[in-house]
Chains A and B, each alone.
Chain A
Amino acid sequence: MNEFSRRGFLKSAALTTGAAAITSVTPLPAFAAKGKDSPILTAGRWGAMQVTTKDGRIVSSKGALAKTVPNSLQTTAADQVHTQARVKYPMVRKGFLATPGKPDGKRGNDEFVRVSWDKAYQLIHEQQSRIRNDHGPEAIFAGSYGWRSSGVLHKAQTLLQRYMSMAGGYSGHLGDYSTGAAQVIMPHVMGSIEVYEQQTTHPVILEHSDVVVMWGINPLNTLKIAWSSSDESGLEFFHKLKKSGKTIIAIDPMKSETVEFFGDKALWVAPHPGTDVAMMLGIAHTLVSKKQHDVDFLSKYTSGYDKFEAYLLGTTDGVAKTAAWAESICGVSVQQLEALANIFSQNRTMLMGGWGMQRQQYGEQKHWMMATLAAMLGQIGLEGGGFGLSYHYSNGGNPTRDGGVLSAISSTIGGGSSAGNDWAVSGAVNSLPVARIVEALESPNKKYQHNGHELSFPDIKMIWWAGGGNFTHHQDVNRLIKAWQKPELVVISESYWTAAAKHADIVLPITTSFERNDLTMTGDYSNQHLVPMKQVVEPQFESRNDFDVFADMAELIKPGGRDVFTDGKSEMDWLKGFYDQAKKGAVKARVRMPKFGSFWNKNELIEMKVNKKNNQFVRHASFRQDPIMNPLGTPSGKIEIYSKTIEGYGYADCPAHPTWLAPTEWVGNAKDGELQLMTSHAAHRLHSQLNYAKLREQYAIANREPITIHPADAAARGIKNGDLIRAFNQRGEVLVGALVANIIKQGSVCIHEGAWLDLDKPLGICKNGNPNVLTSDIPTSQLANGCAANSSLVKIEKYTGVAPSLTAFTPPNNA
């Protein structure tokens, strides 16, 4: 370091000689040399993390951003890498190895044999080529759905589809399990999907809203994660909201972690699960009868309100949807409904809607009715008013930053023949609504309705699933297991011995994100940070990166395939490319990003710049300001309370305006002690991810997934807190541990989704308590075909047999 500086120079009296000693130092920023076991910065869905290793093993991990509300998921890095549930080697099912491509009905009930990677590749390639040749690309399902891991390069599903598009195409999926109904209905109503879009910002809510309604959201659990990586602003927002003195109302059948968090700062209103539309209709009717609805807004900004009002007042069906009518369905008193109507209409009110309510039969009606209610309140597009469907997800409402945004690897190779390659690139040739996969397996070529189109299911002969856990996220698992026997080949790319892996023909061991290099942004809406996801440990056992697996497989399609798949670039080449692209955007925002090499060596995150205008973003403000110049994307350009498009479809299960439709199974027709089952998002998991982690000790009861039971329902069945419980219905049975507490609407139980299936073959019971054994696999309606997990009735009783030992996280023998 040259010991010379302008500041020191001027302080020195030696101007005339110049040669005098000059001592002040302003060092150049030095890259601190990282010690061998000093923490490494990486990231997961749960945010940026510092991970500490010792002798090549992870010993601890913690969040890298300052926070007020702790996030338990950030402590799990060691478990993720070193759990006994890891898939160590490529494994093939014994029966498959004996007669490849001839289904023997033994998937999930067979031994596994260890093979070499090359052998596994060869088996997959031969079978796939045969199937592709005989049945065409449609016979290969690569719609592989799930949450995989963070990162813009190591994206399992995208890489699978990139490879499959080089191989000649595949059957893919439409939509998702999270918002299947909402993302199809909302474009008809609001002209955009709403559920994955930026919300009126947190600062605007804190400044302008008088009333915040948390309608079926549990951000304390769901904001621990984000689709890219959490920027962790959401929980800070709810922390501030709690201290704001605003009127906070939580509408939820459960006294969730969030309701507990707000304590006496929030009012808890508990309707019966699945009755939100009736409850909202009761409020809407009250508004009309007290002339508290905004007639001017409805006439200027909405279309078809008159037809809806005729239904609301009962002129079309003879049933006025009064508060008293609503009380009889939702179990919330007339007084409370009238009070809510009054509070909502007399104050600047933000309705924050959750998604569980639309994962029900007729789920399309829920958010449609919420948008209608918000339109009647006339506050859509005003600061802090209206409704928002993403406050509980990926930190929606955290203002969008200015700066560099990472791009990501794409599901098709670039260019086609014009790019100098002669690959006949083809994407998804048939896409089915993601939650209808079992029906597709059962009824190939069957015609069905979807959002106004007649489609037909592909005849699936091969499935390759990468980065997803469909044996936990799909409904009616026993039905899935039966249908799963049909294909001629099932390949699972996995880091862990999930139930899906245990029901595969070929299982490929894949690295976790801690064993490879990647990049991610935090904040799906904010793009707040760019985080290096630096490799922390060596790949475990024989695991490989999806990127390398599919590059190897591409080379088998045709020599040269590897270079086409990878674009001739290594892992680090790709990352540098994404970074350099982001850096271009950063210049405009005055975010100073160093060259990639120095960024990577430094191993520090880069925070993007605050944009004052974005801080004040109000959803639909421009529409409100000028509905002619800024129309919504609906056919009328307005909020469609009545949709002529949907009317044209003629679906009995999705009428043309928001309508209360009683589900096939719900608390209103429960008999013989049946209870309504809810499958909410768990506190210490990302869906089924991390079920194996030590965190499980914090929530498991009797070493099973807990079931929340109202004390009165428990007493009626002689159940005590901590008891081992058998929950069952016509679809199956599970073992769960009783959590008896006055934190749930009487008549309902909750088993959080995500417990790994652990079927005891002789008993036919899931020993770990996967609630999807009990849920029904029906579509929300013909419009969206979303999953309807929250429309199921179950019975419960104290389990009196010998408790079978848990094997959910135990690999098969020899594995």
Chain B
Amino acid sequence: MKIKKRYFAACLLVAIVLGWLTLGGTAYIMKKTSSTEFCISCHTMQIPYEEYQGSIHFSNAKGIRAECADCHIPSNPIDYVITKIIASKDIYHEFVTGKIDTEEKFEDHRMAMAETVWAQMRANDSVTCRSCHVRDAMDSFEQSEDAVKMHEFAKENGQTCIDCHKGVAHFPPEAEMDSEAFDNLLTKTLETNDTATSVYPVAAISMGDFGSINPATPLTVIETTGNNRKVQINAFQMQGAERVLYSGNGQRSIVATLSEQGQAALTVGDFSEDEYGNHWRTASLIADIDAQVLSDITPLWQYAEQLDTVYCSGCHAKIGANHFTVNAWGPVAKGMGDRTDISVEDLEILTKYFQAHAKDMVKH
């Protein structure tokens, strides 16, 4: 059985060599296909690569670099293999579908891609972040006060790194709400019937020669003929700003903007001075409108809450409307809104929502 033994030995040797080649080869492939050079060798990876080059994860004072794999491939063996298998779809899209092969296409899919990665990181408790950033190693005295506060908050509320630290190595996607939600809102206005006694515009509407009314302004209906309504606005005016009507005494939430004719048609009270030396008076106006309006404001506020979710909490956790006063919400919403892609019209609705539920408007 010498031959057999030899044959067996030879087979064994071949098997060992094959096994070594296969496993070793596989390991080699796995390692090589996790290298940054490999990742960016695809045309479509140039965009995220250049974004990453502008980030602190690419270069910094300390000379430490997080490579693609450090963030995108978990090191635990099972997650590692799963990630590698899922990533093979990228190859398919790179060479077969060309799904993101232009800047525009890339931008169109940025949100979906980001959400995939965020979901993955939420599921594994940001394990790749934590391979470098260890909570124990964080010296709270070297962090800003805000950072300490937010980290405490995150810990207590079961949040993970990626819940806040979005867009640290690549540009964050920009939220945009689809127009369907607003179309639904407009559909709701069709349900408003002739018997409605108070109505609310969902967008800025015209009062003919008198000027225009801002969305969400409560209007008392005096007379209805089909779509045409005679309505009354009860509001306030501040001396020096007679072109606009405000929601309350000392509350600068604009409910209407007036032409000269509009100003002339007002019924006004006497001015009285507030503690800041501004003079306010009541002002009411009866005007004709022909726009579609809501009889119940709830759908408008629901729409505003959607805006809040899409545009505000895309970057930070939601801030309750009762956090600021009516007067503070105007500039706060404007300042923050400028940093998003929210339209002027939507920002106005959102601002009105915050103001209607502001600290000085609701009791808790």
Contact = CB atoms under 8 A, between A and B. Distances in A.
Interface of A: 1-2, 4-10, 16-19, 24, 26, 28, 583, 587-588, 590, 592-595, 597-598, 626, 628-629, 631, 637
B59 interface: yes
B127 interface: no
B113 interface: no
A8 B38 CA distance: 10
Nearest to A593: B54
B42 A6 contact: yes
B21 A17 contact: yes
Interface in B95-123: 95, 103, 107
Contact of B35 (A4, A588, A595): A4
Given A595-B58, A628-B211, A4 B25 contact: no
A8 B41 CA distance: 9
B50 interface: yes
Given A2-B37, A592-B50, A594-B53, A628 B28 contact: no
A26 B24 CA distance: 25
A28 B38 CA distance: 10
Nearest to B58: A595
Contacts of B167: 587
B204 A629 contact: yes
Given A6-B41, A595-B59, A19 B28 contact: yes
Interchain residue pairs A-B with the least CB separation, the first 6: A5-B41, A18-B25, A592-B50, A26-B41, A18-B29, A2-B37
B4 interface: no
Given A6-B91, A628-B258, A19 B59 contact: no
A128 to B, nearest CB: 40
Contacts of B257: 628-629
Contacts of A10: 91, 95
Given A598-B53, A629-B257, A592 B47 contact: yes
A4 B32 contact: yes
Interface string B187-217: 0000000000000000010000001100000
A629 B210 CA distance: 11
Contacts of B32: 4
- Listed residue (A6, A10, A28, A587) with the most chain B CB atoms within 10 angstroms of its CB: A6
B220 interface: no
A220 B135 CA distance: 63
Nearest to B28: A18
A637 B243 contact: yes
A26 B35 contact: no
Nearest to B210: A628
A614 to B, nearest CB: 14
A587 B54 CA distance: 10
B259 interface: yes
B2 interface: no
B317 to A, nearest CB: 20
Given A6-B91, A18-B28, A628-B211, A592 B58 contact: no
A28 B33 contact: no
Contacts of A583: 54
A594 B26 contact: no
B360 interface: no
A587 B33 CA distance: 29
Contacts of A590: 103, 107, 171
A17 B29 CA distance: 9
B51 interface: yes
- Listed residue (A4, A18, A24, A631) with the most chain B CB atoms within 10 angstroms of its CB: A18
A5 B29 contact: no
A106 to B, nearest CB: 56
- Listed residue (A1, A5, A19, A628) with the most chain B CB atoms within 10 angstroms of its CB: A628
9 contacts: A5-B37, A5-B41, A6-B41, A6-B94, A8-B41, A16-B22, A594-B54, A629-B257, A637-B243
Nearest to B36: A28
Nearest to B338: A588
B291 interface: no
Given A4-B32, A592-B54, A631-B243, 9 more contacts: A2-B37, A6-B94, A10-B95, A583-B54, A590-B103, A590-B171, A592-B51, A628-B258, A629-B257
A4 B50 CA distance: 20
Nearest to B21: A17
B26 A18 contact: yes
A622 to B, nearest CB: 10
B185 interface: no
A5 B45 CA distance: 12
Nearest to A599: B54
A9 B21 CA distance: 17
A637 B103 CA distance: 43
B212 A4 contact: no
A127 to B, nearest CB: 44
A637 B107 CA distance: 41
A626 B42 CA distance: 50
A24 B43 CA distance: 14
A594 B50 contact: yes
A626 B41 contact: no
A430 B321 CA distance: 46
B83 to A, nearest CB: 16
B159 to A, nearest CB: 23
B168 to A, nearest CB: 11
Contacts of A626: 212
A108 to B, nearest CB: 53
Contacts of B51: 592
A595 B54 contact: yes
B129 interface: no
Contacts of B33: 6, 9
B89 interface: no
A15 to B, nearest CB: 9
Contacts of A587: 167, 171-172
A588 B28 contact: no
B339 interface: yes
Contacts of A594: 50, 53-54
A696 to B, nearest CB: 45
B40 interface: yes
B212 to A, nearest CB: 6
A533 to B, nearest CB: 21
A695 B39 CA distance: 53
B166 to A, nearest CB: 12
Contact of B41 (A7, A588, A595, A629): A7
A26 B40 contact: yes
A626 B211 CA distance: 9
A592 B204 CA distance: 37
Given A10-B95, A628-B211, A597 B41 contact: no
B56 to A, nearest CB: 8
Contacts of A17: 21, 25
A9 to B, nearest CB: 7
B235 to A, nearest CB: 16
B212 A28 contact: no
Interface in B234-284: 243, 257-259, 262
Contact of B339 (A4, A5, A9, A588): A588
A595 B53 contact: yes
B243 to A, nearest CB: 7
- Listed residue (B21, B29, B53, B103) with the most chain A CB atoms within 10 angstroms of its CB: B53
Contacts of B91: 6, 10
A19 B28 CA distance: 8
A394 B180 CA distance: 43
A588 B258 CA distance: 36
Contacts of B171: 587, 590, 592
A373 to B, nearest CB: 25
Interface in B12-36: 21-22, 24-26, 28-29, 32-33, 35
B242 to A, nearest CB: 11
Interface string B149-167: 0000000000000000001
A659 B262 CA distance: 33
Contacts of A637: 243
Contacts of A592: 47, 50-51, 53-54, 171
